[in-house]
Structure 1
Amino acid sequence: MAEHPDAALVRRGFEAWTSGDMETVGTLMTADCTHHSPGESQISGHIKGRDNVLDMYRRMFEITGGEMRVELHSISVDGRGHAVAANRFFATREDKGLGIEMNGALVFTIIGGKISDIDECIEDIDVSDNFWGPAE
């Protein structure tokens, strides 16, 4: 059976993000896409607009020196423009001598074949905030 188009879109996004291909990630989003990231860290908040979301992703790679990866566990869809991607995130910060390994999920809203909204859920907000550091 063929993969649902929304699941295929999310999978392409994960593959591009993991390889640092922000150009491709950007093509998968609407111009007004918003990423909602939990917590109080420097990557937290409601990041509005594709360019700002991509800047936040680039900042994550910068903070970790590119030492990040995501293992995609599953993608579930509802056939009405929503997809949930369960994953495990791994990253290190040499500057702080920290590493993180955490389960999470991304809830996507998809309109017209593009990602318009991403709600991020994570296993432990306090651990994440400590890893990423305070908002600047």
Structure 2
Amino acid sequence: MTHHEHPDAAVVRRGYAAFTAGDMETLASLMTSDCTHHSPGESQMSGHFKGRDNVLAHYGKLAELTRGTFRVELKDVYPDGRGHAMSVHTWHADKGDRGIEMDGGLFFTLIGGKISDIDECVADITESDAFWGTE
């Protein structure tokens, strides 16, 4: 059986690859200018980051707070063929004297082959909030 990847899934995979490589130029090219990333919880990393530049700054803060240890291992991407794709992954990071490993996922809305909205989910919001803290 041959696996034919849906174009929306391919965009999401390219985004993960660019994020992992630190290639923010490619990542930016995959987003609409008004892209929004919604992060759950009540930590300093929670909230609604509207606009491609703010989304990229949010990702930069992940790297800054973890001194470059933040990484994501993509498990799979599931498109619905109607402009949405869901990814599942495990993320890892170290911050201060604490490390974390947690499953999570992103729900993407794509318009015209570009990511316009990202809703983030994590396995344990309370633990994620404790890791990121409030400042």
Compute the TM-score of the two structures, normalised by the length of structure 2.
0.95
Match in the other structure for 2:111: 111
- The letter of the residue matching 2:13 is R
Q: Distance in 2 between matches of 1:75 and 1:130?
A: 28
Whether 2:87 is the aligned partner of 1:67: answer no
Q: Any unmatched runs of 5+ in structure 2?
A: none
Whether 2:29 is the aligned partner of 1:6: answer no
Deviations 1:77-98 (A, max 9, x none): 11000000011101111xx201
Whether 2:94 is the aligned partner of 1:92: answer yes
- The letter of the residue matching 2:65 is I
Deviations 1:36-72 (A, max 9, x none): 0001111110110000000000011011111021111
Q: Distance in 2 between matches of 1:21 and 1:43?
A: 21
Whether 2:22 is the aligned partner of 1:42: answer no
Match in the other structure for 2:83: 81
Q: What's the CA shift for 1:23?
A: 1.3
Match in the other structure for 1:128: 128
The alignment partner of 1:120 has SS state of strand
Q: Any unmatched runs of 5+ in structure 1?
A: none
Compute the TM-score of the two structures, normalised by the length of structure 1.
0.95
Give aligned pairs, total.
133
Q: Distance in 2 between matches of 1:20 and 1:126?
A: 28
Q: Distance in 1 between matches of 2:54 and 2:46?
A: 12
Cα root mean square deviation, aligned? 0.9
